[in-house]
Structure 1
Amino acid sequence: MFRKSISARLALMFTVATVSMALAYAVCLRVTLQESLEKQMHNELQFRYSLVEPMIVSRASAYDWQLLKAKFVNLSTSEGGRVQYWIISDDPFYHLGGPVPQAVNLRALEDGFSKVDLPDAKKCPLFLMTSTLPASGNRPALRYVVAIDSTPYMGTLEEFTRVLLFITFFGVIMVALLGYWISRAGMKPIKALSAQSHQLVPGKQKQRLCIDSLPEELHALAEAFNGVLVRQEKAWEQLESFNADVAHELKTPLTNLIGQTQLALSRDRSVEQLQNMLGSNLEELERMSSIINDMLFLSHAQTGKFAAQMAQVSLRNESQKAAEYLEPSLTERHLSVRINGDATAYVDRRLFTRSLANLLSNGSRYAREGSTIDINIVQSERFISVSVLNEGAEIESYHLERLFERFYRVDGSRTQSSSNHGLGLSIVKAIAQVHGGDVFVNSRDGVNTFGFTLAVAEKR
Structure 2
Amino acid sequence: MKTSSIASRLSIMFALCSMLTLSAYGLLLRSSLDDSLTKQMHNELIFRANLIEPWIGSRTSPDAWQRLVKKLADLTEAEGGRVKYWVFDSDSTVLLGDNSLTEMGQVPLTEGFSLISSNSAMSSDHYLYTTFTSFDDENKELRFSVSIDSTAYVGTLNEFTRTLVLISIFGISLVALLGFGISTMGMRPVKKLSLQAKTFEPGNYDKRLDTTQLPTELQTLAMSFNGVLDRQKVAWQQLESFNADVAHELRTPLTNLIGQTQLSLSHQHDIAELEDLLGSNLEELERMTSIVNDMLFMSHAQAGEIATQITTVSLHQEAQKTLDYIETLLEENNLTVEIEGDAIACIDHRLFHRALANLLGNGVQHARHNSTIKVTIQQDKNLASVAVSNQGEMIENQHLERLFERFYRVDSSRSGSHIHHGLGLSIVKAVALMHKGNVFVQSENGSNTFGFTLALDQENSDKNVS
**TM-score category of the 2 structures, normalised to the smaller one:** 0.7 to 0.9
Displacement of 1:154 in angstroms is 0.7
Partner of 1:417: 417
Counterparts of 1:302 and 1:268, CA distance in 2: 49
- Which amino acid letter does the alignment assign opposite residue 30 of structure 2? R
Q: Which residue of structure 1 lines up, in the alignment, with residue 38 of structure 2?
A: 38
SS in 2 for 1:335: strand
Deviation at 1:323, TM superposition (A): 5.3
The residue identity in structure 2 corresponding to 1:244 is: A
* 8 Å contact from structure 2 (residues 316, 339) kept in 1: no
- The one-letter code sitting in structure 1 at the alignment partner of 2:154 is M
Query: Is the counterpart of residue 307 in structure 1 residue 309 in structure 2?
Result: no
1:373 CA drift (Å): 0.8
- Residue pairs, 1:78-117, within 5 angstroms: 78-90=78-90, 95-101=95-101, 104-107=104-107, 109-117=109-117
Q: Deviations over 1:257-285 (max 9, x none)?
A: 23433444454434333323322221221
* Count of aligned pairs between the two proteins: 451
Question: Which residue of structure 1 lines up, in the alignment, with residue 197 of structure 2?
Answer: 197
Compute the displacement of 1:424 (Å): 3.1
Matched, 1:327 2:324: yes
The 1:101–1:167 alpha-carbon spacing in structure 2 relative to 1, beyond 3 Å, is same
1:359-398 maps to which residues of 2 (within 5 A)?
359=359, 361-363=361-363, 366=366, 369-379=371-381, 384=383, 386-393=385-392, 394-398=394-398
Deviations along 1:274-330, whole A, 9 cap, x unmatched?
A: 3233222212211111111121222232222x338497x64x546744653553215
The aligned residue for residue 180 of structure 1 is 180
Any gaps of 5 or more consecutive residues in structure 1? none
Judge conservation of contact 1:135–1:141 (CA < 8 Å) in 2.
yes
Q: TM-score, normalised by structure 2?
A: 0.83
Match of 1:406 in 2: 406
CA shift digits 1:324-362 (9 cap, x unpaired)? 355321575242434434466xx8787667555644554
> Structure 1's 360 and 50: CA in aligned 2 closer, same or farther, altered over 3 A?
farther
Identity %: 47
Distance 1:258 1:27, change over 3 A: same
Q: Specify the code of the residue in structure 2 equivalent to 1:11.
A: S
TM-score relative to the length of structure 1: 0.84
Q: Does 1:451 align with 2:452?
A: yes
The alpha-carbon deviation at position 151 of structure 1 amounts to 0.7
73-82 vs 155-164, which moves further: 73-82
Contact 1:83 1:148 in 2 (8 A): yes
How far 1:426 sits from its partner (Å)?
A: 2.5
In the aligned structure 1, how far is the partner of 2:317 from the partner of 2:168?
81
List aligned pairs for 1:94-243, cutoff 5 A.
95-101=95-101, 104-107=104-107, 109-118=109-118, 124-133=124-133, 136-243=136-243
Deviates more, 1:177-186 or 1:278-287: 177-186
Measured in 1, the distance between the counterparts of 2:92 and 2:253 equals: 133
Separation (CA, whole Å) in 2 of partners of 1:373 and 1:103? 115
* CA RMSD between the two structures: 3.5
- The one-letter amino acid of 2:376's match is D
**Can you give the 5+ residue segments of structure 2 that lack an aligned partner in the other structure?**
331-335
Q: CA deviation at 1:208?
A: 2.1
Q: Summarize the Cα distance change of 1:85–1:227 in structure 2 as closer, same or farther, 3 Å threshold.
A: same
Secondary structure of the equivalent of 1:27? helix
Alpha-carbon distance in 1 for matches of 2:94, 2:4: 80
1:348-363 to structure 2, matched below 5 A, reads 355=355, 358-359=358-359, 361-363=361-363
Q: Which residue identity is paired with 1:45?
A: L
Where 1:458 maps in the other structure, the secondary structure is coil
